[in-house]
């Protein structure tokens, strides 16, 4: 029995593979390396002592995916594979719809054919847009996201709900808030390909001198210090939530449709300035910054109510912000050592 992890060499996928192996699961990875690198596979082996089976191909290649399902007894799948750059998704909408939705549909076709259940989907807090009430629980009304990327997440959820209902299958929709940090070993983390869009990778590169200055997008938000607020969750905690969600799906033997939905965050909001200060303090480094205009499409505030995940999965994010940011810096040091 194996768990298929698509996008398993990516940022959240690689951390989840480590946790799955630590929990005794056999893992099969499919990743086309479009946003990851092969050395991550070796580092997963260094961390866990086990090398997962790895297939380097694009999930849109249906015939290759069929071969993977033929070769292994797949008992569930965590589907991380997707393109995730919000700005790019506006410029390349058709590519984003194709990659994010065709990959998912190809997996579902295999599940349908083979009577497999247990599918976990990487969704996002972006499906809530700017919610009216904080913290955001799972009953918060969804708003069709502005970005094409966000729409692929909302559509992906809808496709999975229809799939589960029609064929009596079990799915878990995990809505991540803002994942940050790296594995404590410093050997896997978020690979900075190009100029980072997200806050923490940009802060990391600014501290390392790769970027001159961080631009803080807006200090006129109606928040305590004027900068926008998000819920930054440590990636290893997030990875552990996947194992808990998978175990819950697998333990349900009712044979009935099961659609789980969980918000995965810490329950605590942090402003951009707080993150910058916490990074400086955790790592005794300076992060030069300038205040700029607001970034188009940004919301003011979002943080999770993680109570449902705690109650039903027995899972809770426990790592403090500074500790997560310390691992980010360890990861940057590791990348520096690889480049030198």
Could you give the CA distance from residue 18 to residue 27 in angstroms, rounded to a whole number?
9
Among 2, 27, 36, 135, binds ligand NAD (CB under 6 A): 36
| 31, interface contact from ligand WQD, ligand NAD, none, CB < 5-8 Å by kind | ligand NAD
Catalytic, out of 96, 149, 221, 232:
149
State which residue, 35 or 223, has the beta carbon closest to ligand NAD: 35
Catalytic residue check, 303? no
For β-strands 289-292 and 214-217, DSSP reports them as parallel
Residues 198-257 that bind ligand WQD (CB under 6 A): 198-199, 202, 214-217, 228, 230
| 58, interface contact from ligand WQD, ligand NAD, none, CB < 5-8 Å by kind | ligand NAD
Among 89, 99, 283, 317, binds ligand NAD (CB under 6 A): 99
Among 23, 42, 67, 197, binds ligand WQD (CB under 6 A): 197
Contact 281, 238 (CB under 8 A): no
Interface mask toward ligand NAD for 294-323; x: CB under 6 A: ------------------------------
**CB-based burial, 311-336: b 16+ in 10 Å, e otherwise:** eebebbbebebeebbbbbbbbbebbe
Note whether 151 binds ligand WQD by CB under 6 A: no
Note whether 34 binds ligand NAD by CB under 6 A: yes
State which residue, 230 or 326, has the beta carbon closest to ligand WQD: 230
| 36, interface contact from ligand WQD, ligand NAD, none, CB < 5-8 Å by kind | ligand NAD
Using the rule CB under 6 A, give the single segment among 58-66, 134-142, 293-301, 314-322 that binds ligand NAD: 58-66
Could you give the CA distance from residue 82 to residue 201 in angstroms, rounded to a whole number?
19
Among 69, 80, 202, 329, binds ligand NAD (CB under 6 A): 80
| 60, interface contact from ligand NAD, ligand WQD, none, CB < 5-8 Å by kind | ligand NAD
CA 163 to chain centre: 22
Among 4, 35, 119, 187, binds ligand NAD (CB under 6 A): 35
Nearest alpha carbon to residue 242 among 89, 39, 15 = 15
State which residue, 68 or 281, has the beta carbon closest to ligand NAD: 68
Distances (CA, A) of 101 to 19, 120, 180, 260, 272: 26, 14, 25, 20, 32
Among 2, 5, 86, 244, binds ligand WQD (CB under 6 A): 86
Could you give the CA distance from residue 118 to residue 215 in angstroms, rounded to a whole number?
42
State which residue, 23 or 197, has the beta carbon closest to ligand NAD: 197
Residues of the shown chain interacting with ligand WQD in the complex, contacts defined by CB under 6 A: 84, 86, 124, 126, 150, 178, 197-199, 202, 214-217, 228, 230, 272, 295, 298
Residues of the shown chain interacting with ligand NAD in the complex, contacts defined by CB under 6 A: 6-7, 9-13, 30-36, 58-60, 80-84, 99, 103, 122, 124, 176, 178-179
């Amino acid at each position: 029995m194996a768990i298929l992890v698509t996008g398993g060499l990516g940022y959240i996928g690689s951390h989840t593979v480590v946790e799955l192996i630590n929990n005794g699961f056999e893992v099969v990875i499919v990743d086309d390396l479009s946003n990851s690198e092969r050395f991550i596979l070796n580092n997963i082996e260094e961390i866990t002592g086990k090398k997962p089976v790895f297939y380097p191909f694009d999930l849109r290649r249906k015939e290759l995916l069929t071969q993977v399902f033929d070769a292994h007894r797949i008992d569930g799948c965590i589907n991380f594979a997707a393109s995730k750059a919000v700005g790019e998704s506006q410029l390349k909408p058709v590519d984003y719809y194709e990659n994010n939705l065709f990959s998912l549909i190809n997996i579902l076709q295999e599940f349908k054919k083979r009577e497999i259940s247990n599918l976990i989907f990487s969704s996002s807090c972006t499906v809530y847009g700017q919610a009216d009430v904080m913290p955001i629980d799972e009953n918060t009304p969804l708003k069709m996201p502005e970005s094409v990327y966000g729409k692929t997440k909302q559509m992906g959820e809808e496709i999975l709900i229809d799939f589960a209902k029609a064929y009596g299958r079990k799915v878990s929709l995990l809505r991540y808030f803002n994942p940050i940090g790296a594995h404590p070993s410093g050997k896997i983390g978020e690979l900075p390909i190009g100029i980072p869009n997200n806050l923490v990778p940009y802060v990391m590169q600014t501290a390392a001198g790769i970027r001159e200055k961080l631009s803080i997008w807006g200090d006129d938000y109606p928040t305590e210090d004027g900068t926008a607020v998000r819920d930054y969750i440590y990636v290893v905690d997030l990875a552990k939530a996947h194992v808990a969600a998978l175990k819950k799906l697998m333990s349900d033997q009712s044979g009935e449709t099961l659609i789980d939905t969980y918000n995965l965050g810490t329950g605590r909001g942090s402003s951009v300035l707080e993150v910058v200060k916490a990074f400086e303090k955790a790592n005794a480094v300076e992060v030069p910054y300038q205040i700029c205009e607001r970034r188009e499409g940004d919301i003011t505030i979002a943080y999770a109510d993680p109570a449902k995940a705690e109650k039903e999965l027995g899972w809770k994010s426990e790592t403090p912000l500074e500790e997560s940011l310390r691992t980010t810096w360890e990861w940057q040091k590791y990348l520096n050592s690889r480049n030198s």
